[in-house]
Structure 1
Amino acid sequence: MKKLRVGVIGIGDISNVYLNNLKKYDAVEVVACASRGLEKAQRKAAEHGIPKAYASGMELIADPDIDIILNLTTPQAHYEYNLAALKAGKHVYTEKPLAMTFEQGRELVSLAKEKGLLIGCAPDTFLGGRLQNIRELIDSGRLGRITGGGAWFVGHGHEFHHPAPAFFYQPGAGPLYDMGPYYVTALLSLLGPVKRVCAMATKAGETRTVPSGPSKGQVLPVDVDTHINAILEFVCGAQVTLTCSFDVWDSELPRMEIYGTEGTVLIDEKDPISGPNLFGGDTLMRTPDQYRWADAERRPENVNAPWPVVPNSHPYNSVSHAENPRGIGLVDLVYALEEGRKPRASGEMALHSLEVMECILKSAHEHVFCEPTTTFEQPKPLDWQ
Structure 2
Amino acid sequence: MGSPHAIGIVGLGVISRQYLDLFARSSSIRVAAVADLMPGRAAEVAAGIPGARALTVDELMADPEVQTVLNLTVPAAHAEVAHAAIAAGKSVHGEKPLALTVAEGQTVMDAAAAAGVHVSAAPDTVLGTGIQTARRLVDEGAIGRPIAASATWVSPGHELWHPAPGFYYAPGGGPLFDMGPYYLTSLVHLLGPIVAVTGATRRARAERTIATGPRAGERIDVEVDTHASGLLEHANGAVSTIVTSFDAVATSAPPIEVHGEQGSLAVPDPNMFDGEVRLAALGGQGWQSVPASAGYDGSGRGIGLIDAVSSGGAGRAGGAVALHVLDVMESLLRSSAEGRRLAIDTTVERPPLVPFSAAAEWAHIGG
Provide the TM-score with structure 2 as the length reference. 0.92
2:275 to 257, 264, 281: 281
Give the corresponding residue for 1:162.
162
- CA separation of 1:264/1:33 partners in 2, compared to 1, >3 Å: closer, same or farther? same
C-alpha contact (below 8 Å) 2:120/2:314 kept by paired residues: no
C-alpha contact (below 8 Å) 2:232/2:241 kept by paired residues: yes
More moved, 169-178 vs 44-53: 44-53
CA–CA separation in structure 2 for the residues paired with 1:53 and 1:212? 30
C-alpha contact (below 8 Å) 2:97/2:172 kept by paired residues: no
C-alpha contact (below 8 Å) 1:228/1:243 kept by paired residues: yes
Give the corresponding residue for 2:222.
222
Give 1 or 2 for the bigger CA radius of gyration. Answer: 1
Give the corresponding residue for 2:9.
8
Give the corresponding residue for 2:365.
none
Give the corresponding residue for 1:360.
332
- 5 Å-filtered alignment, 1:267-278, equals 267=267, 275-278=269-272
C-alpha contact (below 8 Å) 2:193/2:347 kept by paired residues: yes
- CA separation of 1:42/1:166 partners in 2, compared to 1, >3 Å: closer, same or farther? closer
Give the corresponding residue for 1:91.
91
Give the corresponding residue for 1:82.
82
- Paired residue secondary structure (2:304): helix
**Letter aligned with residue 288 of structure 1:** L
Give the corresponding residue for 2:177.
177
**Letter aligned with residue 310 of structure 1:** V
* Displacement of 1:107: 0.3
Give the corresponding residue for 2:311.
336
- Paired residue secondary structure (2:175): helix
- 5 Å-filtered alignment, 1:301-320, equals 307-314=287-294, 316-318=296-298
2:318 to 346, 355, 379: 346
CA–CA separation in structure 2 for the residues paired with 1:7 and 1:361? 34
**Letter aligned with residue 264 of structure 1:** S
* Displacement of 1:250: 2.2
**Letter aligned with residue 32 of structure 1:** A
- Paired residue secondary structure (2:160): coil
Deviations 1:263-287 (A, max 9, x none): 111136xxxxxx2110011011111
- 5 Å-filtered alignment, 1:101-116, equals 101-116=101-116
**Letter aligned with residue 86 of structure 1:** I
- 5 Å-filtered alignment, 1:1-385, equals 1-54=2-55, 56-267=56-267, 275-290=269-284, 307-314=287-294, 316-318=296-298, 325-337=300-312, 342-383=314-355, 385=362
Deviations 1:246-277 (A, max 9, x none): 11122221111001111111136xxxxxx211
C-alpha contact (below 8 Å) 1:231/1:240 kept by paired residues: yes
More moved, 120-129 vs 169-178: 169-178
More moved, 216-225 vs 73-82: 216-225
CA–CA separation in structure 2 for the residues paired with 1:371 and 1:169? 27
* Displacement of 1:198: 0.5
CA–CA separation in structure 2 for the residues paired with 1:171 and 1:365? 15
- Paired residue secondary structure (2:335): helix
**Percent identity of equivalent pairs:** 39
CA–CA separation in structure 2 for the residues paired with 1:243 and 1:375? 22
C-alpha contact (below 8 Å) 2:124/2:301 kept by paired residues: yes
* Displacement of 1:213: 4.2
CA–CA separation in structure 1 for the residues paired with 2:250 and 2:39? 43
* Displacement of 1:211: 4.1
C-alpha contact (below 8 Å) 2:188/2:350 kept by paired residues: yes
Deviations 1:355-376 (A, max 9, x none): 1100000100001111111112
Provide the TM-score with structure 1 as the length reference. 0.88
CA–CA separation in structure 1 for the residues paired with 2:171 and 2:239? 28
- Paired residue secondary structure (1:147): strand
- CA separation of 1:280/1:317 partners in 2, compared to 1, >3 Å: closer, same or farther? farther
Alignment: residue pair count: 356
* Structure 2: runs of 5 or more not aligned: 363-367
- Paired residue secondary structure (1:159): helix
* Structure 1: runs of 5 or more not aligned: 269-274, 291-301, 319-323
CA–CA separation in structure 2 for the residues paired with 1:113 and 1:315? 28
CA–CA separation in structure 1 for the residues paired with 2:279 and 2:214? 43
C-alpha contact (below 8 Å) 1:33/1:50 kept by paired residues: no
- Paired residue secondary structure (1:167): helix
Query: Alpha carbon RMSD of aligned pairs, Å?
Result: 1.7
**Letter aligned with residue 353 of structure 2:** P
* Displacement of 1:66: 1.1
- Paired residue secondary structure (1:280): coil
C-alpha contact (below 8 Å) 2:163/2:210 kept by paired residues: no
* Displacement of 1:15: 1.6
